[in-house]
Structure 1
Amino acid sequence: MRIGLAQLRLENMDKNVRKALDLLRKSKADVVVFPELFNTGYNLENISKSDPKFLIEASKETKAVIIAGIPEKGYNTALVIHRGKILGRHRKTKLFPLLNEHKIFKAGKVVKPIETPFGLFGIMICYELRFPEIARKLVNKGAKILFVIAQFPSERIEHWKVLLRARAIENQVFVVGVNCVNDHCGGYSMVVDPLGNVLKELGDCEAYDEVDINIKYVDEVRKKYPFLNSP
């Protein structure tokens, strides 16, 4: 499975959408991942105009599963889209208190993996990365890869790096973290394997890259190190 990391510099809504559509046309990945609220940012005017139709239409022209964070129906949402259909959505359950996010969005209530042509995907959004119980719930329900989309700040980017690796190590899964870059967000999107090795790490500038992984490696690691089966 080839995963595309779309570490976008968030600008105005039109530019964000154009960049995403152009990237999808060029991508060779099986799964393309965009950051949290990638089309609007936290701009309240943009949030009110957000509509997933552009992604649904774009997905008809690519083989890729698209994972993208957008505002939807009052929630901070990660959509999983393939071939013109929404396969599922994760609505952010932990709203970030330092941004008063609860004044902008409602909190989601459901944590469960989403079925895709490549297996069960566990999705987390930014602040949820700090809650290991969310990752473990997704893994206990069958996810062997976790996708974390974010607007993670530059001043705490070392937390981001450590937490992504920690979630991979403690759950013996692949973890894909895709952050944005702007005046406040620090980038460093990465792919981590089930032993905590960083397979790909982007820097602090806008970038796109693709990484090949073998999901069967999760089973190999768990067989060799059966830590999840400990009583």
Structure 2
Amino acid sequence: MKIAAVQAAIRYGDVDANYHIADQAIEAAAAAEADIVVLSELWNTSFYPLNVYDLADEEGKRTKAFLSDAAKRYHVHIVGGSVANKKQGKLYNSTFVVDKTGEVVGEYDKVHLFTPGKEDMVFTAGNHLNIFELDGVKMASIICYDVRFGEWVRMAALAGAQILFVPAAWPNPRLGHWQILNQARAIENQMFVVAVNSCGQAGEYQFCGGSMIIDPWGKVLSQADGREQIITSDVDLSVIKGIRSSINVFRDRRPELYHL
């Protein structure tokens, strides 16, 4: 299974341009023979203009139609990063996952909102995991700040996820945190982690790039620098069986002692 992570400089508040950028990136990733293409956080608006509510997708209609069409045209699965999305008058930071046939197989609203960036004052938090299957493999997705909450990721691992997708708009100067947290989530949950960041500038934020594809041992299989680029890696899922048999943290857990 080959995965492509799209690290793009999202145009701040320029929604039409951003859909065009996403389409070009998906086409390029498909040309590189990717099976799964992953976009970054809030790729329709960036993180996030003052008029984000006005710019947001209505019930995800445009995004789902766009991703479905692109998946069928390019014959790829798409983990659609996240978009600003209006539902019943409230604003959400939402992920849509679409398979090669164009079917939406997963939806997720960001659960942990970034209070230092006042995201909680603008967006509404979600309340459920996003577990889905592509090519018969269980996977999960979270969004950016969620990766700091190990309990949330462990729940996805316990639900059977073998690959975790982390679309983000992660800013400087916290590149070190980004790298360490994603590697830690991979190691402690013995899963692949595909961490896809933005790059470039958006308002007061300078995004640090550094997108990564990480194996269950914490080894970085592919990594971006701070520029626009698409990184790819083949993912060998047999590695998960190997590490979970040699270092069986799931068997050795003591959940009866964990009071969270």
Q: TM-score, normalised by structure 1?
A: 0.95
| 1:154 maps to which of 165, 172, 196 | 172
Equivalent position to 1:109, from 102, 115, 127: 127
SS of the equivalent of 1:229 reads coil
Runs of 4+ in structure 1 off by over 4 angstroms are none
Separation in 1, partners of 2:185, 2:44: 27
Which residue, 18, 27, 32 being the options, matches 1:16? 18
Partner of 2:106: 88
Q: After superposing the two structures, state which structure 1 stretch, 99-108 or 195-204, moved more.
A: 99-108
Q: CA deviation at 1:212?
A: 0.5
Question: Greater CA radius of gyration, 1 or 2?
Answer: 2
State the TM-score, normalized to the length of structure 2.
0.85
Equivalent residue number for residue 146 of structure 2: 128
Q: Which residue of 2 aligns with 1:169?
A: 187
CA distance in 2, matches of 1:158, 1:18: 31
Q: For residue 41 of structure 2, what is the aligned residue in structure 1?
A: 36
Identify which of 74, 77, 90 aligns with 1:65.
77
Kindly provide the CA deviation profile for residues 60-95 of structure 1, in whole angstroms up to 9, marking residues without a partner as x: 212211011112222111110122211111111111
Q: 1:141 to 1:48 in 2, by over 3 A?
A: closer
Provide the residue aligned with 2:2 in structure 1: 2
Match of 2:224 among 185, 199, 202: 202
More divergent stretch after superposition (104-113 vs 188-197): 104-113
The SS at the match of 1:29 is coil
Secondary structure of residue in 2 paired with 1:155:
coil
In the alignment, what sits opposite 1:54? 66
Deviations along 1:173-221, whole A, 9 cap, x unmatched? Answer: 1111000012211100001111111111100011012110111210111
Residue 23 of structure 1 deviates from its aligned partner by: 2.0
**Corresponding residue of 1:228:** 250
Give the CA deviation at 1:112.
4.1
Q: CA deviation at 1:119?
A: 1.1
CA drift of 1:48 comes to 5.3
Count residues with an aligned counterpart.
231
Q: How far has the Cα of 1:115 moved from its partner?
A: 2.2
1:218 to 240, 250, 253: 240
Q: Distance in 2 between matches of 1:48 and 1:199?
A: 34
- The amino acid across from 1:39 in the alignment is N
Gaps of 5+ in 1: none
Q: Report if aligned partners of 1:6, 1:178 keep a CA contact under 8 Å in 2.
A: yes
Matched residues in 2 for 1:48 and 1:141: separation?
30
> Distance between the aligned counterparts of 2:194 and 2:173, measured in 1?
21
The question of whether the paired residues in 2 share the 8 Å contact of 1:75 and 1:107 is answered with: yes
Identity of paired residues, percent? 33
Please report how far the alpha carbon of residue 46 of structure 1 lies from its aligned counterpart in structure 2 after TM superposition: 2.3
For the residue of structure 1 that corresponds to 2:75, the secondary structure is coil
> What's the secondary structure of 1:162's corresponding residue?
helix
Between stretches 97-106 and 28-37, larger displacement belongs to: 97-106
